[in-house]
Structure 1
């Protein structure tokens, strides 16, 4: 694509557009019933896709990097301050099994898609390894597997675009499924029903979103304690994870156990979630006394929704490698079918199936963002913990598939 109307270094304008569009998305969701059914998250994401694909904003900028590296980490503890601590542990075990089932869907999808398209897409044995790792653990694994396999830069770039576009489309699909009567009739939906019960007593005429996010008392002290505590938790957690990551050796010449320990204890998001849980257990009254943390955290997540859609460049994928989009589409659809089928067989809640599949394809942060947007607050913590395991197993599974695929080329 050519140059955008707004340049990547015009940071104040880009920040403004992202925040204004996130605000408009929330307003529409709470003002109009059609927008409430679609959800503000999808409105934010689709708007971003339109803005980037029409050349108004660039597909890459330091602003987007800042949102990934600052806004998202701060939002996570803010959303955990008022979750039900007991339910976190109850949900984590169930979600872990569902996550592994969904990972099987990714593996099956990658194998089927590889055999269908291996004669039509160059370097597919390497791309297949990269994508399989990514669609079990998220973007962290994509970066690690790309560095591991010597794939031409243009193919990696085209794969990134196909991945981003597919993730954006799949996110929309996952957000729409809970509103579909077909799935509501066939699955238990306790988290959806809890949200609906919570707004049942509100005034007539309010949308689902407006009823859930009803006005609350909040003071300047609440805002200060919410944001200040969140930043403190992020700083401590990231520094601890960085220290442990450097202290525990990792790499090809290191034992599997040390690699796993490095991956677990050195992961900044898992450390952030763990330390936040510890603080919640030690100082429950302090966190219960803070109002507004959920609202502030959710607004930050809506900013993140806008950024998810920006890299999804449709012209770039059409011009460079349209078959790559077909490749990732097959993988994602098989993941979804296997997740929903076995979720139904094992009597899983619909919400568990959807966030587990999301954690596979997009990683724990996008899955947590989905749970936040839907009001499934007791799934936010568990899916952040469970999704992090994908960072570890994704690279191993991707490597094994890469060896197998390479032996056939």
Structure 2
């Protein structure tokens, strides 16, 4: 019961605070970098699929989840697991593999990633005009301060009520399609309605709705982990781990090559990749390691776009490969 309701509730909460209008305002090179990263991801997903299709059962489901997790993050991974009715053990194997490979990539970025990228890509040109906006955007994702204050709790109840309404809309529409597709329709509907609600100023300004959504994601992760079968997990993990490794490393290399061709600077390439591979909450940390706060808003926006499109892409790719 917990696993079936937490993700549908979390998705709208994560999207309510999205500034869709800002998506069209981020620098052209950032949008180009996002597009190149998605192209690189698709190439590696298809390459890995054909490499392991005879070795990994239900690889089409893994492919869909990897598209989701590397466009938006864990929320998309979990949402696509629900949409595709993925076995809990396969989900856990994918999630654990992602965490292992992602941790290595994260350490690389925080340590000498920038110096490595600068060997091939131009340096970022500083502007220094938007530090306050960047700081505020980072705090919007990082801060849980005051979440138990009465004023905030009232807003969270409103956000939760809208999230429940969104889930009911998605659930209602899912009843109009064949059972096999019902969960996918529900997740995509919930995502769409969540984005639509974010366009309403009063909804968009509800404080801490993103943090509440992340709380539901954590509850889901703990619940699924408790149901995992260790033996099946160990048996499934090797090829899932190899697949995840190819996707992360392959996307990283291809994205860097494409960025070099299109002359995108190192910091923009890094923050785009970080936002997609590790999700928005990691963007301020990466920006700090790069000593460049100017890229925070662009990175966060890329990550939020990933949250919004990840479910569509992941489910589409999964069914295309089934």
Short-chain TM bin: 0.5 to 0.7
After superposition, residues 265-280 of structure 1 pair within 5 angstroms as 275=205
The TM-score, its normalising length taken from structure 1, stands at: 0.52
Conservation of the 8 A alpha-carbon contact between 1:133 and 1:397: yes
Once the two structures are superposed, residues 286-318 of structure 1 have per-residue CA deviations (whole angstroms, 9 ceiling, x without a partner) of xxxxxxxxxxxxxxxxxxxxxxxxx9xxx9976
Give the total of aligned pairs.
254
Matched, 1:97 2:28: no
RMSD over aligned Cα atoms: 4.2
The residue that corresponds to 2:282 in the other structure is 366
TM-aligned CA distance change 1:124 to 1:241, over 3 Å? same
The residue that corresponds to 1:264 in the other structure is 195
The residue that corresponds to 1:169 in the other structure is 104
Cα distance, 1:342 vs. partner?
2.0
The residue that corresponds to 2:74 in the other structure is 139
The residue that corresponds to 1:129 in the other structure is 64
Conservation of the 8 A alpha-carbon contact between 1:141 and 1:395: yes
Conservation of the 8 A alpha-carbon contact between 2:72 and 2:279: yes
Once the two structures are superposed, residues 128-170 of structure 1 have per-residue CA deviations (whole angstroms, 9 ceiling, x without a partner) of 1112111111101111111122333222221111111111111
Give me the whole-angstrom Cα distance separating, in 2, the residues matched to 1:102 and 1:167: 16
The one of 245, 251, 271 equivalent to 2:163 is: 245
The one of 344, 365, 384 equivalent to 2:300 is: 384
Once the two structures are superposed, residues 90-118 of structure 1 have per-residue CA deviations (whole angstroms, 9 ceiling, x without a partner) of 64554233223212222211111010001
TM-aligned CA distance change 1:257 to 1:181, over 3 Å? closer
Matched, 1:342 2:258: yes
Conservation of the 8 A alpha-carbon contact between 1:245 and 1:262: no
* The structure with more radius of gyration: 1
Give me the whole-angstrom Cα distance separating, in 1, the residues matched to 2:148 and 2:291: 20
2:263 match: secondary structure? coil
Give me the whole-angstrom Cα distance separating, in 1, the residues matched to 2:192 and 2:251: 28
The residue that corresponds to 1:354 in the other structure is 270
Cα distance, 1:245 vs. partner?
3.3
Once the two structures are superposed, residues 31-52 of structure 1 have per-residue CA deviations (whole angstroms, 9 ceiling, x without a partner) of xxxxxxxxxxxxxxxxxxxxxx
- Which structure ranks higher in relative contact order (CA pairs < 8 Å, sequence separation ≥ 6)? 2
The residue that corresponds to 1:326 in the other structure is 242
Gaps of 5+ in 2: 1-9, 15-21, 129-143, 177-184, 208-224
Cα distance, 1:332 vs. partner?
1.0
Conservation of the 8 A alpha-carbon contact between 2:271 and 2:287: yes
